[in-house]
Amino acid sequence: MKHTTLRIIDWTLAVVLLLGLWHYNHSVVITVIAAVVFMIAMSNHKKNLRMNGNYLYNLFALKENNNRIYAFDYLRVLAVVFVILTHAIKLDLADGLIVDANRAQIFSCFQVFFLSCNLIYVMLSGALLMPYREESLGHFFKRRFVRVLIPMIIYYAFYMWITREIVEFSWGALWTVCVNFLIGNIPKLPHFGMIYIIVCTYLMIPFLRYMVKDMPYKTLTGLVLMIVVFSGLELILPAFTGVSLMFTFELASWAGVTLIGYWLTRPETKKYYRNLIVLGLAAVAVMVWMVYNRDDYITLTTNISPIMECISMGIFALFMMGRNLLNHAGWLVRIISKYSYSMILVHWWALLWITRGILGIQVDSYYGVGVVFSLIVTIAVSLVVAFVVDHMVVDAFTQSK
């Protein structure tokens, strides 16, 4: 029964996708390449089902895992929600679609707040990957390559095809898109900037593991404090005083954010959760003040700004403090968490081409309620596309889930 169900799913998706590819660009080469990829994926699915009888249940995230920390799943879902909302608002603000000045400033505050998605995702990487375990560098990088870099490359190819950067296969076109990918020359895909950062943090994590392996908790706490303080000295101080210090702290960077994520999940940090939540609320207040009073508020409040670090730590601490209440997750949370990375990769297309393009949904529609419709549609489309692409393309380059 399971084998029959899997065959029906695979063949249905393969036929529909091949017909869609042919209808879109009538390229024999691309269609043949896609057919080969689909067949490899389908072969891998059969192997996966033979090795794991729960493969179909895992594919659709149908079963809960009692040993899982579901607070992390909720944080992943939150990151997906925030990244969609911040980009939806940013696009409408940039296009001048939010004409009321007061409403535009309110949306600007929300856009900045939702940008905490970047730090939350990097903090999750630190929380999950920084705890020491016996693992060779080769094994670590191989797993990360399969789970992170391969999907990134595949979705990059998807965007190149859907935007007609590649209409017909040629070695010259392939060389151009590969070079642009390596140097980050992809202005049509601004959300990939964060993916490059995530990949770079993965390059550092196995080495940072050894650095913190035997580090006393008080020393680690001091390190986190240094990261936040120097983030402020390097960013906020010059903006308000015009003075830039020559003394810098190299870990006041995305690598530092990874370390913060690890620190937040240490058992000893529980005693600071309430304080971190209060600090996060205070940082939100400062962020709102800057949106209303500073033209350079984006620079001062986003990415590795201490303001955004405090906001993100407060959010993370809130979920960790409530992890006992979040000891299970509904199916929707589980499946969005499972495909969250691919959803982040594909949401830009869903938002631009479907939500805003075909359906014409704007965040300021219906007295601002349009932002809810934009979120729901983009999440639904992103989840479906993420499932299909992961199942029929990404799985061709992986042996098991």
- Report the C-alpha gap between 398 and 73 in whole angstroms: 23
CA-closest candidate to residue 230, choices 252, 257, 245, 255: 252
Separation in Å, CA 163 to CA 95, 120, 352, 356: 20, 30, 11, 16
H or E stretch at 256: helix 254-264
pLDDT in tens, the chain (401 residues): 678 888 999 999 999 999 988 887 777 888 898 999 999 999 999 998 888 878 888 899 888 777 788 999 999 999 999 999 999 999 999 988 888 889 899 999 999 999 999 999 999 999 999 998 888 888 899 888 888 999 999 999 888 888 777 666 667 777 888 898 998 888 889 999 999 999 999 999 999 999 999 999 999 999 999 999 999 998 988 988 888 888 888 888 999 999 999 999 999 999 999 999 999 999 999 999 999 999 999 999 999 999 999 999 999 999 999 888 888 889 999 999 999 999 999 999 999 999 999 999 988 887 778 899 999 999 999 999 999 999 999 999 986 54
* pLDDT given for residue 67 in this prediction: 79
DSSP 352: I
CA-to-CA dists, residue 247 to 49, 225, 243, angstroms: 56, 16, 12
Tell me the C-alpha distance between 125 and 202, whole Å. 8
- In sign, the C-alpha dihedral spanning 343, 345, 347, 353 is negative
The rounded distance, in Å, linking the Cα atoms of 284 and 227 is 19
Q: In the chain, what are the domain boundaries?
A: 2-64+387-397
What CA–CA distance (Å, rounded) separates 398 from 380? 25
265 contacts 127 by C-beta, under 8 angstroms: yes
* CA gap 89, 107 in Å, rounded: 7
What's the pTM value of the predicted model, to 2 decimals? 0.93
What six digits make up the tokens of 387? Answer: 């499932």
Q: Which residues fall within 8 angstroms of residue 293, CB to CB, at 6 or more apart?
A: none
Q: Which two tokens stand for residue 252?
A: 């006041």
- Tokens standing for 151? 């999907």
Q: How many alpha carbons fall within 13 Å on the CB side of residue 232? A: 11
Please tell me the predicted confidence (pLDDT) of residue 401.
Answer: 46
Q: Which of 400, 340, 365 is nearest to 55 (CA)?
A: 400
Cβ–Cβ under 8 Å, residues 53 and 2 = yes
